[in-house]
Structures are given as structure tokens and as C-alpha cells.
């Protein structure tokens, strides 16, 4: 039956074939083509242009590292920072009410001259509270925000701050790779996804002027911009919200593809699902509930690039997941049992596009050594189109109907409730 079905598909005229796979041709293929064009342009620019150097007067650099229960990771992260070709002038560590030995470890590193400032919130207040406390201690013109479970290429800081040659740049996002890809199938597929969605995707967003995320794992901010927008708001989703506020304040945001850091990712699919539910709920919360003003032309701070970026995120990350479910329902309603063959062909197409996407990502951001991931790329398309989309769809409905982000333990209960009472997130 399957062979007969494939033969039937091959016999179709192009209009009939297009009508059968309309979701792929209309909603999936255009973005892939745009990404391919962007890779070609980025490759030509990289080979023909000079990488921007450091300013004639090097800015003072502060590293801000907020963390909760990071005693084990902290020494490795600090040593990675101190080994930079452009070492930071100041490292500020803020403990967010840890129950392990984080404060003792940070204090010992401070006595060794590796950390400049150690502060503690005493009780857990969430990453935003810790970051804002640390920001008050930062003396640098540029503030690099970092996570304790990340390590950096030796020239990562140098590549990251080069973007601030342009006085219009308020924030620069670093590139993220997976440090623990060999643990499980889940970590391998995440390593592929990071390469595609961050290494490639953020280059495309940067080129189009619609980059809306500077990761809290590795990003740099002009301190003036941070102070102008009031620092970090209550999370989850504080990274995206801060980036949005900086863009609305008139600053530009840039991506530094050669500024690499490595971070640990969830090792099981259950852990991954919980992480992505939190991230995707935040996406809905930030984009739909709080930043609808991006789409309001009457707003004094309206910018077309911000509106296009919002539409891009809402459509391709949220609505596309819903449209795919609608397509599958339509498929089986119209074609009955033959719909299974069409669905399998769709998955094969996603798998092939996953291979092509990974190849483009390797061209666009080639530094991370991920050659061992190639055998897993074929299955990545199914992982991305089914597993991650299902999680995203659940998160969207969960947030729109139940506002689950307000119950996320990522932020302590009392902080969440205070934010809700003050209508910060309405």
C-alpha cells in the first residue's frame, strides 16, 4: 500500500501535489528559503569584510553572574572568564538564596582574586532580583550577563563586545552551543537544534533586524541601556522581556555568531518538555499579553522592525504549531487512511530539511565541533516537527487559558504573587 501510495503521489500534477502539501509549501518552505539566502549572504560578508575590531578606547567590562545553587559550576565558569583574550575588568557574583555552598565557594574565589564582588539576596528572589542587585555593583560600560553552568571560547568576550563599536547598539547576543551532547538522544537533538535555531536562526533575525532575544546565558548590554529601561523584570522570560524593552527604547540589538559559549541542556525528554513549556509560556506572555503594543502603529515608540519581529515570533513559533495540527486533521478528513502516507511523506520532507538546515548552520557558524551529530540529524526533523511543536502548542493554550507562567517555580511563589498583585504582567 505504501509503495502504491508513493507511486500515486509521483503521478500527481504539480497543482494537485501542491494542494495536498499546502502547509509545507505555503508555511514551511518560505522561511527555509529565506534562511538559505541569509546563509549565502552571511558567508560572502564573512569572507569579504573585516571583522570589527575593539574600540580605540576599550570599554570597561563587568561580568554579572547571578545564580542559585551553583557551587559546583562556579569555579569552572570563573576560570573560563579569566582566561579570555579580553579579560573582564570586574566580575560580580550574586547568590540567589542558595541552599548549597555557593556563597562560601564565591567568597573563596574572591579571596584568590578571581571574583571582585560577591553579594547575596539572602532569600531566593529569582534571577531578575539577583541580576538587578548585581547591576548596582557593576562599574563597567558594558555588562556581560552569564550563567554559572556555561563556559566560553577564549576569545568569546572579545568577539562579543566588538559590536559596541556602533553607538546605536544597546545589546549583543552571544552564540550558544551544547556542552553535553553525548549524554542521550535528547541532548544530541538539542545540540542540533541549538546549532540551527541559534547559530543560524539568530543570524537570519539579525540580518533582518528582528532579533528579539539576548540570552541570559551569554549576552552583553550597554549599561546605559540597562539603566534606561530599569533592568530586569520578574521572570520567567526575563531575557526576552529585557531585550524587548531595550528595542522599544530605541536601541538596536545585534548577534555575534563567533562569540561562543557552551551550556548544559536537559538530559531527558521529560526534563526538556518541562523546560520548553516554561520557555514557550513566556513567549506567549511576553508577545501576546504584554507586548501587543509592538503592533500598535499609534504608539509613539512603534517601529516596523519590532512589529515584523513580533509577527514572526507569534506566527512561526506559536501559530505554526496550531496550523500543523489543523493540517493533520484536514489531511485525514479529506484523504482518510491515505492521509497516513501523506503524513509520512511530510515527515520525510521535514527530515531532509533538517539535514539541509544543519548543513547551513554549520556553514553559518562553523566553530562548534559537532561532527558526531550527523547520524542523528535525520531524526531531528521528526523531533522538531512533532515533539517540540506539541510542547509549544500545549504551552500556548496553557498560558492563554490558565496563565500557568504565574505558577512557575522558576520564580519564588511570593515574588510571583507580588508581581500578579501589582499587575506588572498584565
**Does the residue 184 lie in any domain?**
yes
Whether 312 is covered by a domain: the verdict is: no
Contacts 24+ apart (CB under 8 A), 405-412: 405/236, 405/237, 405/278, 405/281, 405/282, 405/285, 408/236, 408/278, 408/281, 410/126, 410/127, 410/235, 410/236, 410/278, 411/126, 411/128, 411/234, 411/235, 411/236, 412/124, 412/125, 412/126
The pLDDT of residue 425 is 46
Helix or strand (DSSP H, E) at 152: strand 150-152
Residue pointed to by grid coordinates 560578508: 45
Asked whether residue 285 is assigned to any structural domain, the reply reads: no
Tell me the C-alpha distance between 283 and 192, whole Å.
21
pLDDT digits (tens, 9 = 90+) for 160-185: 999 999 999 999 999 999 999 999 99
On whether residue 349 sits in a domain, the answer given is no
What pTM, to 2 d.p., does this model score? 0.88
Q: Flag whether 168 is in a domain.
A: yes
Q: How confident is the model at residue 426 (pLDDT cuts 50, 70, 90)?
A: very low
Asked whether 333 and 169 are in contact (CB, 8 A), the reply is: no
Q: At 84, is the secondary structure helix, strand, or coil?
A: coil
Burial 36-71 (b: 16+ CB within 10 A, else e): eebbeebeeeeeeeeeeeeeeeebebbbbbbbbbbb
Per-residue pLDDT tens over the stretch 92-139: 999 999 999 999 999 999 999 999 999 999 888 889 999 999 999 999
Closest to 391 (Cα-Cα) out of 193, 114, 201? 193
- Residues 393 and 323: their CA atoms lie apart, in Å, by 10
* Partners of 62 in beta bridges: 90, 143
Q: What value does the mean pLDDT take over residues 231-245?
A: 84
Counted domains in the chain? 1
C-alpha span between 394 and 203 (Å, rounded): 28
pLDDT digits (tens, 9 = 90+) for 269-301: 999 999 999 888 877 776 665 566 677 777 777
- For residue 167, the enclosing domain spans 61-266
Task: Provide the angle, in degrees to the nearest 10, between the axes of the packed helices 185-193 and 269-284.
Answer: 30
Q: At residue 381, does pLDDT exceed 80?
A: yes
| DSSP 8-state symbol, 168 | T
What's the start-to-end Cα distance of the chain, in Å?
Answer: 54
Measured in degrees and rounded to the nearest 5, phi and psi for residue 260 equal: -100, 140
Q: Is the peptide bond before 236 cis (omega within 30 degrees of 0)?
A: yes
Per-residue pLDDT, 292: 64
Flag whether pLDDT at 51 surpasses 50: no
Residue 127 placed within a domain: yes
**Distance of alpha carbon 101 from alpha carbon 410, whole angstroms:** 20
**Pair 259, 218: CB distance under 8 Å:** yes
User: Which CATH number goes with the domain that contains 186?
Assistant: 3.90.550.10
Any domain includes 113 = yes
The answer to the question of residue 278 being in a domain is no
Selection from 308, 144, 145 nearest residue 235 by Cα: 145
For residues 250 and 118, give the distance between their C-alpha atoms in angstroms, rounded to a whole number.
Answer: 33
Give Cα separations from 165 to 95, 116, 272, 319 (angstroms): 32, 26, 37, 37
Q: Which three cell numbers stand for residue 184?
A: 542521550
Determine the average pLDDT of the residues in 36-65.
68
Residue 217 has pLDDT above 70, yes or no: yes
Average pLDDT across the chain, whole number = 86
- Of all residues in the chain, the percent with pLDDT exceeding 70 is 86
Q: How confident is the model at residue 159 (pLDDT cuts 50, 70, 90)?
A: very high
Given a contact cutoff of 8 angstroms between Cβ atoms, the answer to whether 160 and 81 are in contact is no
Amino acid at each position: 500500500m505504501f509503495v502504491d501510495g508513493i507511486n500515486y503521489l509521483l503521478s500527481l500534477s504539480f497543482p494537485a501535489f501542491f494542494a495536498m502539501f499546502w502547509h509545507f509549501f505555503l508555511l514551511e518552505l518560505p522561511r527555509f528559503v529565506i534562511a538559505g539566502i541569509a546563509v549565502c549572504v552571511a558567508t560572502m560578508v564573512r569572507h569579504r569584510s573585516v571583522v570589527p575590531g575593539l574600540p580605540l578606547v576599550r570599554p570597561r567590562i563587568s561580568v554579572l553572574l547571578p545564580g542559585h545553587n551553583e557551587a559546583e559550576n562556579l569555579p569552572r565558569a570563573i576560570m573560563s572568564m579569566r582566561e579570555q583574550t579580553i579579560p573582564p575588568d570586574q566580575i560580580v557574583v550574586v547568590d540567589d538564596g542558595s541552599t548549597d555552598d555557593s556563597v562560601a565557594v564565591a567568597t573563596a574565589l574572591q579571596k584568590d582574586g578571581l571574583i571582585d564582588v560577591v553579594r547575596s539576596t539572602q532569600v531566593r528572589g529569582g534571577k531578575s532580583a539577583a541580576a538587578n542587585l548585581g547591576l548596582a555593583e557593576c562599574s563597567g560600560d558594558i555588562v556581560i550577563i552569564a550563567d554559572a553552568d556555561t563556559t566560553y571560547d577564549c576569545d568569546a568576550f572579545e568577539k562579543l563586545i566588538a559590536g559596541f563599536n556602533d553607538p546605536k547598539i544597546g545589546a549583543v547576543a552571544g552564540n550558544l552551543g551544547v556542552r553535553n551532547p553525548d549524554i542521550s538522544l535528547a541532548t544530541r537533538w538539542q545540540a542540533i537544534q541549538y546549532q540551527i535555531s541559534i547559530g543560524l536562526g539568530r543570524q537570519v533575525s539579525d540580518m533582518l533586524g528582528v532579533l528579539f532575544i539576548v540570552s541570559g546565558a551569554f549576552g552583553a548590554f550597554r549599561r546605559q541601556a540597562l539603566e534606561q529601561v530599569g533592568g530586569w523584570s520578574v521572570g520567567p522570560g526575563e531575557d526576552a522581556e529585557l531585550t524587548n524593552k531595550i528595542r522599544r527604547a530605541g536601541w538596536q540589538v545585534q548577534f555575534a555568531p563567533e562569540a561562543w559559549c557552551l551550556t548544559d541542556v536537559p538530559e531527558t525528554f521529560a526534563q526538556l518538555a518541562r523546560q520548553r513549556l516554561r520557555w514557550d509560556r513566556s513567549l506567549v506572555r511576553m508577545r501576546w499579553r504584554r507586548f501587543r503594543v509592538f503592533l500598535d502603529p499609534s504608539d509613539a515608540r512603534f517601529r516596523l522592525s519590532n512589529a515584523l519581529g513580533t509577527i514572526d515570533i507569534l506566527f512561526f513559533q506559536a501559530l505554526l504549531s496550531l496550523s500543523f495540527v489543523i493540517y493533520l486533521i484536514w489531511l485525514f478528513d479529506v484523504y482518510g487512511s491515505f492521509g497516513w502516507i501523506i503524513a509520512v511523506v511530510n515527515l520525510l520532507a521535514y527530515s531532509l530539511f533538517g539535514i539541509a538546515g544543519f548543513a547551513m548552520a554549520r556553514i553559518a557558524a562553523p566553530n562548534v565541533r559537532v561532527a558526531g551529530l550527523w547520524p542523528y540529524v535525520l531524526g531531528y526533523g521528526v523531533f522538531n516537527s512533532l515533539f517540540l511543536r506539541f510542547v509549544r502548542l500545549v504551552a500556548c493554550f496553557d498560558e492563554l487559558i490558565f496563565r500557568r507562567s504565574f505558577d512557575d517555580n522558576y520564580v519564588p511563589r511570593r515574588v510571583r504573587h507580588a508581581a500578579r498583585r501589582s499587575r506588572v504582567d498584565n
